[in-house]
Amino acid sequence: MRKLNNILVTGGAGFIGCNFIHLLLQKTPDFFGRIVNFDVLTYAGNLANLADIDLEFGGRRYFFEHGDICDRRFTEALFTKYDIDTVVHFAAESHVDRSIFCPGIFVKTNVFGTLALLDTVRNAWKNADGSMRDDVLFHHISTDEVFGSLNDTGYFTEKTAYCPHSPYSASKAASDHLVFSYHHTYEIPVTLSNCSNNYGPYQFPEKFIPLMILNILEKKSLPIYGNGKNIRDWLYVEDHNRAVWLVMNKGKSGSSYNIGGENEWENIALLYKLIEIVSEKIGLDKDSVLGTIVYVKDRSGHDWRYAIDCTKIKSELDWKQSVDFEKGLSLTVDWYLSHMEWIENIRSGEYTRWLKRNYGSR
Ligand code: NAD
Ligand code: DAU
């Protein structure tokens, strides 16, 4: 079991990162350390996701630093300021559709940003004699999309060859390779996890599940790409983060771990399920909601199926999923129903103005 004390969480104001911080500070009684959330606050980063954390732990065990992972000088100063011994690297551009329209920013953040961060730890974690410290860890958050696409059978394992298809997954694959290359070349202790599709509270409503929930609520059309038969393997975000924490504590340095829901759904079947849940909760006529489904032009290069084999993390680290899908979807719908203000803020631009007021133009 590693001792993880001062953790730099990159991208902690985004969906998975903020859930990770909630998990560690509110639901992990054996974690006594400090968390530094390092985020540039793109459209996907939102400090409102951590307002309760700031209130309870701010200035003692929780700190926020507004900056870009590409900015090496800024990042280096953080290592000294907080005596960082652990990095968990969530920060990324994460949306496949956006990567198809503007790939450059994905390469900048996901590839060059990761490279800058690796160079920073390489310097910051050197012993006086030039050797690398062994009481530190860089955990890299990756995705199952680096493995490409499956046909109707088979699973991605840790040994599956990388074959990314979208600019997003190509940039994530490049960053994974850099992480392992820095482990082999400079002996930085690293672990890496490749996870399937997450869902849960605080997910930005560009992604399938929150987009569909909100569109149902607002009686907008429900856009299904292609024939709706593409398959994703869904996992509740807290289950993902529990797995990440386990890997960070007990995973073998230099290793990767697949994390998945073992929960495959065709997009259209998942949409039917969401329509059922939302309609029941707020008393909508299910048939009229079904009538708002629209089949739209397919995503370019749309991967057919993702499915994770997570035997390794189950057998080596004793992890398992704990949130049943129906229950997780219900919790997620309830969360969006009770956070309409959060949604309005994201959309109204008020959040953007608040950011400018508090942080200037950075
Ligand atoms: P997200 O888009 O919700 O959040 C990304 C966060 O990173 C935001 O807070 C953003 O402000 C921050 N960020 C972006 N560029 C930055 C930069 N240059 N410097 C500092 N911060 C920056 O993403 P997410 O869905 O929470 O995904 C987090 C990580 O998990 C990503 O690495 C993603 O590839 C990976 N992942 C996501 C999923 C999923 O289903 N969402 C599944 C597997 C892996
Ligand atoms: O598999 C892990 C990946 O899951 C992560 O690495 C990514 O960061 C994350 O965004 C997610 O990628 P996907 O492309 O699978 O997620 P998205 O929610 O964008 O889409 C899920 C599926 O739904 C996909 O097959 C495309 C389809 N879709 C999506 C949207 C937004 C639609 O049919 N209609 C839509 O409007």
Question: pLDDT tens digits, residue range 312-334?
Answer: 999 999 999 999 999 999 999 99
Q: Atom of ligand 1 at shortest distance to CA of 207?
A: 41
In a domain, 60, yes or no: yes
In a domain, 38, yes or no: yes
User: Which pLDDT value is given to residue 361?
Assistant: 44
User: Which pLDDT value is given to residue 345?
Assistant: 85
Q: Which of 96, 149, 206 to mutate to test the pocket of ligand 2 (most atoms within 8 A of CB)?
A: 96
Catalytic residue among 39, 68, 145, 238: 145
pTM of the model: 0.97
Pairing assessment for the beta strands 6-10 and 197-199 based on DSSP bridges: unpaired
Q: Whose CA is nearest to atom 1 of ligand 1?
A: 14
Q: Which residue has the tokens 């399920």?
A: 273
In a domain, 222, yes or no: no
pLDDT band at 303 (very low <50, low <70, confident <90, very high): very high
Domain count, the chain: 1
pLDDT band at 1 (very low <50, low <70, confident <90, very high): confident
CATH code, domain carrying 239: 3.40.50.720
Q: Atom of ligand 2 at shortest distance to CA of 212?
A: 36
Q: Whose CA is nearest to atom 34 of ligand 1?
A: 94
Task: Give residue-wise pLDDT tens across range 212-257.
Answer: 999 999 999 999 999 999 999 999 999 999 999 999 999 999 999 9
CA of 55 to the centre of ligand 1 (A): 24
User: Which pLDDT value is given to residue 357?
Assistant: 62
284 has pLDDT over 70: yes
Give yes or no for residue 200 CB within 6 A of ligand 1: no
Nearest to 92 by CA among 120, 68, 56: 68
Long-range interactions of 113-116: CB distance < 8 A, separation 24+: 113/68, 113/69, 113/70, 114/69, 114/89, 114/140, 114/175, 114/178, 114/179, 115/175, 115/178, 116/69, 116/70, 116/71, 116/72, 116/75
In a domain, 291, yes or no: no
Mean per-residue pLDDT over the chain, rounded: 96
In a domain, 356, yes or no: no
pLDDT band at 362 (very low <50, low <70, confident <90, very high): very low
In a domain, 214, yes or no: no
Tell me what the mean pLDDT of segment 66-78 comes to.
97
pLDDT band at 360 (very low <50, low <70, confident <90, very high): low
209 forms beta bridges with none
Q: Atom of ligand 1 at shortest distance to CA of 197?
A: 40
Cβ atoms < 10 Å from Cβ of 358: 10
Of residues 250 and 357, which shows the higher confidence score? 250
pLDDT band at 348 (very low <50, low <70, confident <90, very high): confident
In a domain, 275, yes or no: no
Give yes or no for residue 44 CB within 6 A of ligand 1: yes
In a domain, 54, yes or no: yes
78 has pLDDT over 50: yes
267 has pLDDT over 50: yes
User: Which pLDDT value is given to residue 346?
Assistant: 84
Tell me what the mean pLDDT of segment 104-124 comes to.
98
User: Which pLDDT value is given to residue 352?
Assistant: 64
What's the domain range around 135?
Answer: 6-203+235-261+304-324
The CA distance from 150 to 271, in Å, is 21
